[in-house]
Amino acid sequence: MTPQNPLAARIATQVHFFVSGMLFATWGVHVPTVKALFALSEYQLAGLMLAGGFGALLGLTQVGKWVATHGARPVVIAGGVVMAAPLALLLHMPGFGALLALMFAFGLATSAFDVAINAEAVAVEHAYRRPVMSSFHGCFSLGGLAGAGIGSAVAFFDIPATLHMLAASIAGGLAILVASRSMLPDEATHSPDDANTGFKLPRGPILLLGLLATLGLVGEGAMYDWSTLYMSQELGSPQAQAALAYGAFSAAMAAARFAGDWVRAHIGPAPLLRASSWLAAGGMTAALLIGTPWAALFGFALVGIGFSNVVPVLFAAAAKVPGITPANGIAGVSSCGYLGFMIGPPLIGVIAQHWGLDLGLFVVAVFAAAVALMAGKAMAVSTNGASGLAMKSDTV
């Protein structure tokens, strides 16, 4: 079914991606707040992260079935509300057990929401008959930057954390509800014939795409957690300069995602994935070999540009694999990528502990090169699927 107003659906999906990034960053900003308020040990804090991870993995095993049964809109609404609510409740929990349960719910809802909005994004891209997926992920990056910026302002002006998290929860939930009214009709994303098909372990084409997502997100997770430490510890940068490492990577990634759709339309997904991955590998290698603060910042920005379109391209490909619904395809690739995002930072840490952080971060370059080498074969798996962007539509 063709949507009456694809532009409105596109804006709604952009809002959903932005809110997802903002809420994720809001939680990240207040991890130290939660640790201090509840006097958590490092192991307990890791337990909270693990509870969220288990919830996310459970959500990924079910969300394909939910979207196939009901369409993306109900899953977006339910998942979005449950994702936003824990932020308002987090600092009011009576104890550690309640925190674990809340983080489990947060992880489950976040993964369900993310897959549902990506399934909606694929349907919007189909309606437009041209690439628009990367711009949605660009909105996620902008939301993350906005959430981090607001968190910094809240700390600077000494605004209570409880007030900030309550405001973020309410604003995010309302934005999700309002935007959901402009989503595509449910027929665009649900698949009654596949409603009883549950999650299957990734295999075949989905496993290959998932492997690339794992490699890409290992590198992305490592950049988030280790780039600032590399600047301060290995290069002796002052804290103000070291803090720019995360900003250079994230800002470059956000900007490049808005250009990714144009590039994919003109050169195709496989060349884009190959070239951008080589750029990430080269940027990281140059940063480590030159070994000066400004060279590192420039290299990290190149890594951000290089990794920016890996996930959007892989999700778009997963949605077109024959014999599997878009939501299940995205969930399968997302589950692999999520594992990569989780194992990346500790993997870098283990290598850094034994052989130094320079060598640890070189893993990012190696994995990026691996993505580049496998890009052509991975993109070929979706060429026999639906004709995607070439399919006819009554509206553009």
- Are 127 and 228 found together in one domain? no
pLDDT at 396: 29
Compute the average pLDDT of residues 21-36: 84
Compute the average pLDDT of residues 190-215: 75
Say if residue 274's pLDDT is above 60.
yes
The last residue of one of the domains, among 127, 154, 183, is 183
The last residue of one of the domains, among 150, 183, 216, is 183
The CATH number for 164's domain is: 1.20.1250.20
- Long-range (24+ apart) CB contacts under 8 A made by 353-356 are none
Question: Is 189 part of a structural domain of the chain?
Answer: no
- Are 150 and 215 found together in one domain? no
- Are 319 and 216 found together in one domain? yes
pLDDT at 1: 44
Dist CA 18 CA 117 (whole Å): 11
Summarize pLDDT for 302-318 with one digit per residue, the tens.
Answer: 999 999 999 899 988 98
- Are 123 and 257 found together in one domain? no
- Are 240 and 278 found together in one domain? yes
The last residue of one of the domains, among 183, 218, 247, is 183
- Are 17 and 94 found together in one domain? yes
* Pair 276, 253: CB distance under 8 Å: no
pLDDT at 382: 61
Question: Is 198 part of a structural domain of the chain?
Answer: no
343 pLDDT band (50/70/90 cuts)?
confident
pLDDT at 149: 83
Question: Is 87 part of a structural domain of the chain?
Answer: yes
Question: Is 190 part of a structural domain of the chain?
Answer: no
**Most trustworthy range by pLDDT among 5-9, 87-91, 200-204:** 87-91
Question: Is 394 part of a structural domain of the chain?
Answer: no
Summarize pLDDT for 32-52 with one digit per residue, the tens.
Answer: 788 889 998 877 887 887 788
**148-170 core/surface letters (b: 16 or more CB in 10 A; e: else):** bebbeebeeeeeebeebbbbbbe
- Are 92 and 209 found together in one domain? no
> In total, how many domains does the chain have?
2
* Collapsed DSSP state (helix, strand, coil) of residue 316: helix
- Are 156 and 57 found together in one domain? yes
Of the candidates 245, 26, 33, the residue with the CA atom closest to the CA atom of residue 145: 26
Compute the average pLDDT of residues 386-395: 36
Burial class (CB in 10 A: 0-12, 13-18, 19+), 354: exposed
DSSP string for residues in 328-386: HHHHHHHHHHHHHHHHHHHHHHHHHHHH-HHHHHHHHHHHHHHHHHHHHHHHHTTTTS-
Q: What is the pTM of this model?
A: 0.80
Dist CA 92 CA 109 (whole Å): 20
The dihedral region occupied by 386, where left means phi > 0, alpha psi between -120 and 50, and beta the remainder, is: beta
The length of the chain, given as a count of residues:
396
What Å distances lie between residue 330 and 62, 78, 118, 139, 230, CA to CA?
12, 19, 7, 18, 33
The dihedral region occupied by 39, where left means phi > 0, alpha psi between -120 and 50, and beta the remainder, is: left
- Are 296 and 231 found together in one domain? yes
- Are 351 and 297 found together in one domain? yes
Question: Is 240 part of a structural domain of the chain?
Answer: yes
At residue 336's C-alpha, the angle toward residues 144 and 209, to 5°, is 100
Question: Is 146 part of a structural domain of the chain?
Answer: yes
Task: Tell me which residue range forms the domain holding 114.
Answer: 7-183
Question: Is 305 part of a structural domain of the chain?
Answer: yes
H or E segment at 155?
A: helix 133-156
- Are 107 and 65 found together in one domain? yes
**Phi, psi values for residue 319, rounded to 5°:** -70, -10
- Are 342 and 226 found together in one domain? yes
Residue owning tokens 């939660």? 34
